[in-house]
Amino acid sequence: MMYLALPVLAAAAASTVSLLFMALLLPSAAAAAVKRESPAVWLAFMGIAAASFAWFSSGEKQDQYTSVPEEIVWTDKVSESGGLLRGFAEDSNGNKWYVNYRFRSETERDRFFREGIAGHRYLVRAKKEEPDPAAHPYAFDMAAWLRSEGAAGILELQEAEPAGAAPGMSAALRRWRAALGSHIRTHFPEPVSAEAEALIIGERSATEPHDERAYRRLGITHLFAISGLHVGILVYLLREGLMRLGFRTHIVRTGLTMFLPVYAMLAGGAPPVWRAVLISLMLLVPESKSGKPRLDFLLSAGMIVFLLVDPHAVSKPGFQMSYLAAFALIHSSVILSSARGALHQTWLVTVICQVAVTPVLLYHFFETSISSFAANLLFVPLFSAIILPANLILLLLTFILPQAAGLLFALYVPFREVLAGFILLCAKIPLSVWTPGRPELPSLLLLIAAVFIFFWLLEKRRNGAGAAVLLTACCLVHAVPYADPSIHVTFIDVGQGDSALVELPYRRSVILIDTGGRLLFDGEERQEKGGVGERVVVPYLKGRGITRVDKLVLSHPDADHAEAADEVLGEIRAGEIHIGPGTYGEGGYAEVIGIAGDRGIPVREMIAGNGWTEGRTFFRYLSPVEGEYRGNNDSLVLHMEHDDFRVLFTGDLEEEGENQVIVNYADFFPVTILKAGHHGSRTSSGAPFIGAARPSVTIFSAGRENRYGHPHPEVTERFREAGLPAVSTADYGTMTFSFRSGKGMSVVHRQTEGK
């Protein structure tokens, strides 16, 4: 049994984020207590030591370091885009910081890269910044990420001056890794250089977003990151190669023992790499009279060593999934022994790993690949036999025989381009991914129980029963939102912009109103990746288990309402798109209308009086009344009514348009929730409109410390004088209002979470 999970469980207790990891290993810990196997006693003490060290080290580390350093040494985890340099650095006390620096000129940028960044000292003048809070529970949490990386905080550099290479082996290894990355970018053709960086040094920042999405949908992301598979292949190739060259066994062992830790650092030092390296190092130790130690012993010992060095790793998804998959494989020998050939064994390995990590995947990423079971049958052998060895051989040839490397590239690049096209084609297959969202605690416990029952039944050769149990649990988890009788209205914190989501009872229909985006000013360029749609809106939808919206309503073409629509449609399907009259040809809609045309999504121009009904929920557009678009007052204004619950979404409507609405649609007022027009601008939310609407709560959708001063103090004062509560997403983050007939309304926002 997995007796060695006992110390792992203790170490995992060091972080509240790792509660899921603990739950998955709990049955193994119970088995250890019953078995009382002697190695467990020793490792239990080690585990407790690791847990204690992790607990005291990871408490409130960020609050301990208040002094701002005057000198830093950049690590090799640094990137530059659009003149902004960002990444991790260490100060003279060994404290780790996340650092941002904007180059003052192209000349300065060139000088930095010429003199070196990774592993180099810089004299700096900086100030400490507080991380922005997460936009919502499913969004990237900068503060939590910094804690998981063991960072003291964020530094904004005002000035930076190169001061030469830093001393020490660690800095030297960082310089070597950066130099190796530069060598790959210089000598590998562009179509394969990003892949080579990912497979050789673990650097994936150059991978194209559409490729990342395809790998994720097919469940083969692990093949494009250095993992245990890659380390195992590398060790095998080096060992066999050196032995065939005539080196003696003890020399090969010594060489690999010295090389592997260096390789782990050159490869980026991710948890899966260190896991494989530590196990390989232990296996290289000459066999004693008692024989080789058990793999689960080695895995647990390696985990404890890793946690002693980096206690924060326990909260990282990569750490959790790597060790869970490894434990599952080690203790599935009975299942694997039933394999009828190599292909069947590959299938079983994929099933074991995928099922074991499913609860973790859903908790962190809200979805899991269904197609991975078939995709890995093809791509694992392909990567093991061709792609990884080819990249290693090509790297070696670029150093010793550049001309031979050129000839090999002439064969390899066309092959990879065809394979890349095939991967993108496979990723378009419908139903490749299951996205139930982040499960609530009861659903999570159900899934974990189903996973253990599944493996137990597979060991008993009752495969059909095991599959039935797992599928039943998945269906129950998927069905949860379809059994919810409440209506949910969410105002998503997209910064300075608008985005709202309506989920009708029993998930009968989902409507997304605006997507947010970024207004650009003179001299600014749109971000090519990582916009508000990708970072905020899509994670919220997927976190809720939403992969399709029935209607995407774009109130008007301004970028802060519609710019991110293309990013959303890149991940989320839409039944139809609503836009205002006369806006079809507006530049702000060009991309989204192009996508709609390619996918056959109807685009409908709506006007005051148009509407639809879903069960007991009624939707009606109250503005604009004319067919010509002239600006904010021609925003689509949507009124929703469900029993005595009314919500009004006003886009960027200003006072002129407001007055027209209250005259034409007096019967639609008052409302329960008002989304204030134009983010709380002084030209919106006039006194007559406020008096007619009389909302129970008003929402200003605005960014923190935005340059416009939204919501304007005059506007907030109007609501205060009327005795009406008004709140901003800048202060409260994403807000969800839930209404159930006969039960009233409740709200969840940043200040209520965790209470």
Q: What is the pLDDT of residues 404-453, one digit of tens each?
A: 999 999 999 999 999 999 999 998 888 889 999 999 999 999 999 999 99
- Strand pairing partners for 123? 71, 161
Residues near 327 by beta carbon (within 8 Å), at least 6 away in sequence: 2, 5, 25, 28, 296, 299, 356
CATH of domain 484-748: 3.60.15.10
Instruction: Report residue 101's pLDDT band, with 50, 70 and 90 as the boundaries.
Output: very high
pLDDT value at position 47?
Answer: 54
User: Residue 139 has which token pair?
Assistant: 């969004």
Between CA 321 and CA 330, with CA 326 as vertex, the angle to 5 degrees is: 150
Instruction: Report residue 530's pLDDT band, with 50, 70 and 90 as the boundaries.
Output: low
Instruction: Report residue 478's pLDDT band, with 50, 70 and 90 as the boundaries.
Output: very high
Query: What is the dihedral sign for C-alpha 200, 97, 302, 278?
Result: positive
For the chain, the straight-line distance linking the first and the last C-alpha, in angstroms and rounded, comes to 38
Confidence check: pLDDT of 521 > 60: no
Instruction: Answer for the pair 254, 245: CB distance below 8 angstroms, yes or no.
Output: no
Locate the domains of the chain by residue range.
67-167, 484-748
pLDDT value at position 727?
Answer: 94
| Strand duo 548-553 + 573-579: pairing | parallel
pLDDT value at position 291?
Answer: 59
- Rounded Cα gap, residues 512 and 518, in angstroms: 18
Summary mean pLDDT of the chain: 85
Mean pLDDT over 301-326 rounds to: 82
pTM, full prediction: 0.87
- Rounded Cα gap, residues 651 and 558, in angstroms: 10
Confidence check: pLDDT of 332 > 70: yes
- The type of residue at 685 is S
Mean pLDDT over 548-557 rounds to: 96
Which string of DSSP letters, residue by residue, matches 354-377?
A: HHHHHHHHHHHHS-EESTHHHHHH
Q: Which of these ranges, 24-33, 167-176, 312-321, 746-755, has the smallest mean pLDDT? A: 24-33
- Rounded Cα gap, residues 255 and 234, in angstroms: 13
- The type of residue at 479 is A
Confidence check: pLDDT of 17 > 60: no
More confidently predicted of 341 and 722: 722
610-663 per-position pLDDT tens digit: 999 999 999 999 999 887 788 888 899 999 999 999 999 999 999 999 999 999
- The type of residue at 442 is P
Strand positions, DSSP E, 339-428 = 368-369
Instruction: Report residue 46's pLDDT band, with 50, 70 and 90 as the boundaries.
Output: low
Q: Which of 201, 146, 193 is nearest to 176 (CA)?
A: 201
Confidence check: pLDDT of 329 > 90: no
693-747 per-position pLDDT tens digit: 999 999 999 988 888 888 999 999 999 999 999 999 999 999 999 999 888 899 8
123-152 per-position pLDDT tens digit: 999 999 999 899 999 999 999 899 888 898
Instruction: Report residue 755's pLDDT band, with 50, 70 and 90 as the boundaries.
Output: very low
Confidence check: pLDDT of 157 > 90: yes
pLDDT value at position 40?
Answer: 46
Q: Between the ranges 36-50, 253-267, 284-298, 456-470, where is the mean pLDDT highest?
A: 456-470
User: Residue 745 has which token pair?
Assistant: 């309304």
pLDDT value at position 36?
Answer: 45
- Cα 264 to Cα 228, 258, 444: the distances in Å are 11, 11, 34
- Rounded Cα gap, residues 138 and 542, in angstroms: 8
pLDDT value at position 754?
Answer: 42
Confidence check: pLDDT of 52 > 50: no
Confidence check: pLDDT of 76 > 50: yes
372-407 per-position pLDDT tens digit: 888 888 888 888 889 988 998 999 999 999 999 999
- The type of residue at 246 is G
- The type of residue at 80 is E
Length of the chain: 755
- Cα 686 to Cα 383, 393, 518: the distances in Å are 64, 70, 26
Instruction: Answer for the pair 64, 34: CB distance below 8 angstroms, yes or no.
Output: no
Confidence check: pLDDT of 480 > 90: yes
CATH 2.40.50.960 fits 67-167, yes or no: yes
More confidently predicted of 113 and 588: 113
Instruction: Answer for the pair 529, 567: CB distance below 8 angstroms, yes or no.
Output: no
- Rounded Cα gap, residues 391 and 402, in angstroms: 14
Which string of DSSP letters, residue by residue, matches 250-278?
A: HHHHHHHHHHHHHHHHHTT--HHHHHHHH
pLDDT value at position 15?
Answer: 43
Between CA 312 and CA 320, with CA 316 as vertex, the angle to 5 degrees is: 110
Whether the bond between 430 and the residue before it is cis, its omega within 30 degrees of 0, is no
pLDDT value at position 66?
Answer: 60
Half-sphere exposure of 326 (CA within 13 A, CB side): 27
251-273 per-position pLDDT tens digit: 888 888 888 888 888 888 777 78
Instruction: Report residue 54's pLDDT band, with 50, 70 and 90 as the boundaries.
Output: low
Share of the chain above pLDDT 70, in %: 88
